[in-house]
Structures are given as C-alpha cells and as structure tokens.
Amino acid sequence: MKSYSRRQAIETIGRSVATVCILPGLGMIQNERKKHFVTLSFDDGFKKSSIRTAEIFEKYKLSACINVIATAHLPGFVLPNEYHNLPVGDFVLWNELQARGHEIMMHGYKHAHKDAMPFDEAKSLIMRCIDVFSKELKGFNPKNSIFNFPFNASTPELEAWLPSQVKAFRTGGPAINKLPHKGQVKLTCTSHGPDNIDEHLNGEVEKLLAKQSGWLIYNTHGLDEEGWGPMTSDFLDRLLGRLVEIDSVEIIPAGRALSRI
Ligand SMILES: [Zn+2]
C-alpha cells in the first residue's frame, strides 16, 4: 500500500471531497459551490451614495466595490459632465470605508475619455492616478489594483500596456465574464443610464443565474437620484438580500475575486 505523508493525505482527502461534493444534494465545499460571481462596480465616488452603499453591503456582511476619481475631491476639479455635479468623498472617507472591509479602486485621475487622446497622454494620466492612490490610500499596491476606465473607454494600445502596471482593468464589453482565473487582466462590464437601472440590473442578474456559471460585472454609479444611471437604495437592499440566499452566488469586489487566484 502506498504510504502518504500527512499533507498528501489531507490533499487527497480534499480532492475526493471536492469530487463527491459536485453531486447535487450533498454539502459542497466553498469553491465548488460558487458558480455565479456578482460584482457591482460602483463608480464616481459620490459621498452620500458611497456611504449608503457601504451600509447596505454591511447589512449582509458583504464588501462593496467602489471606484473613485483621484482628484474629484480637490478644488478646481473640472466636472466631466452634468452627472458629476454632486459632493464626492475624499481619501479620509475612502480609507475609512476600506478599513471597514470595502474595496476602493481607481477610476481615473480626472475622469477623461482615454480613447480620445494620444496614447502617451492617457498613459501619463493613469500613472498620475496610480501616484495619487499610492500616496493617499493606505496599503495601496498598484500590482493588486484594478483600473476602472472612465466611460469604460479603453484602446487596444492601453489594454496591452496597462497589465504591466496593475493587476487588471475594467472596460466596456460583455457583462458576463468567465469565473476568475489566472491571467485574467481584462474585465468587461455593462452599464445602463441615464435613468434608473433597477430593472436592467435585475435582468442582467437573471441572465447570469440562467447560465451554468459566470461572473457578472455590472458598472453602477450612485444611489437613488445621484449620478448617471442610479439604482434605488431599496432595490440594492432587496437584491443583495435575495442573492445571499442563493447558494451558487458569490457577491464580491473585482480585486478580491482576482486575489484568490
Ligand atoms: Zn465614471
């Protein structure tokens, strides 16, 4: 009979548990069970919405995924459009929310259309964004970060260069990604606006649940009346309440999902 070290024996038992547990009706280990990942990727960092979003996620012991503009809180910030004309949080708030377990990631230096400027200019804005986050956000490491393109507007050239600076980036594309895996640097998402998104988001969640597996990344903004394509806070509350009851669903920030690989 083959002899096993303690570690080999544990690994072998672990593998057989994982195999057995994919049968329906049996208790499943965490990694086998979670087949539907959901990331609600909140952009723009409106103060009131971000605080409320964090509170609602905390009610379900979940972490929110909040993407903020490096300079939006500074005097002289030029609003990218009328949907940004609202008070935003600053790095005191972002550090506080991060300390409470939420994920704070980059959403540009000044919220520029990076597909409408020369490559070097776009690159320089991203480097400046990384510099601000490195200085202001506690424990920030660009190599573990996600860059969330403003307007989800990237270019093939930027997409080829960016993984040399960050762990991954989020841009426009199919809402349902493959489950987190090694080498995944491009995350694609859908978004909806300028009016309320409740119904649209609900439809995208249903599409995910109808699939065998997948990772829905939905780019959200403010809550209630705030920002482009807002969601009602009551809808967010009910949606999370419903999803946490579904065994196959994992609600998780993008960076955390990739950090497990
Ligand atoms: Zn934005």
Band of the pLDDT at 32, cuts 50, 70, 90?
low
Report, as an integer, the average pLDDT of 179-184: 96
**In angstroms, what is the span from residue 150 Cα to ligand 1's centroid?**
5
**In angstroms, what is the span from residue 203 Cα to ligand 1's centroid?**
22
pLDDT tens-place string over residues 72-95? 999 999 999 999 999 999 999 999
DSSP 114: G
Angle at 243 between CA 240 and CA 244, to 5 degrees: 85
**In angstroms, what is the span from residue 145 Cα to ligand 1's centroid?**
17
Q: Work out the number of other CB atoms within 10 angstroms of the CB of residue 216.
A: 24
Task: Note the pTM of the prediction, 2 decimals.
Answer: 0.88
Q: What is the SS3 assignment for 231-245? A: ECHHHHHHHHHHHCC
Report, as an integer, the average pLDDT of 115-121: 97
Is the model's pLDDT at 30 over the cut of 70? no
- What is the residue type of 82? E
Check if the beta carbon of residue 259 is closer than 8 Å to that of residue 81: no
**In angstroms, what is the span from residue 152 Cα to ligand 1's centroid?**
8
**In angstroms, what is the span from residue 111 Cα to ligand 1's centroid?**
6
- Of 10-19, 49-58, 172-181, 226-235, the poorest mean pLDDT is in 10-19
Band of the pLDDT at 152, cuts 50, 70, 90?
very high
Is the model's pLDDT at 164 over the cut of 60? yes
Angle at 224 between CA 223 and CA 227, to 5 degrees: 60
Residue identified by tokens 């930027």 is: 158
Band of the pLDDT at 49, cuts 50, 70, 90?
very high
| Residues less than 5 Å from ion ligand 1, measured at CB | 43-44, 150
Is the model's pLDDT at 122 over the cut of 80? yes
**In angstroms, what is the span from residue 256 Cα to ligand 1's centroid?**
21
**In angstroms, what is the span from residue 24 Cα to ligand 1's centroid?**
42
Is the model's pLDDT at 8 over the cut of 60? no
**In angstroms, what is the span from residue 112 Cα to ligand 1's centroid?**
9
Is the model's pLDDT at 15 over the cut of 70? no
Closest of 81, 70, 71 to residue 105, by C-alpha? 70
Check if the beta carbon of residue 15 is closer than 8 Å to that of residue 32: no
**In angstroms, what is the span from residue 238 Cα to ligand 1's centroid?**
25
Is the model's pLDDT at 205 over the cut of 50? yes
Closest of 103, 105, 94, 139 to residue 256, by C-alpha? 103
* Pairing mode of beta strands 214-220, 103-106: unpaired
**In angstroms, what is the span from residue 20 Cα to ligand 1's centroid?**
45
* Residue 159 token pair: 């997409």
Closest of 167, 174, 136 to residue 257, by C-alpha? 167
**In angstroms, what is the span from residue 185 Cα to ligand 1's centroid?**
20
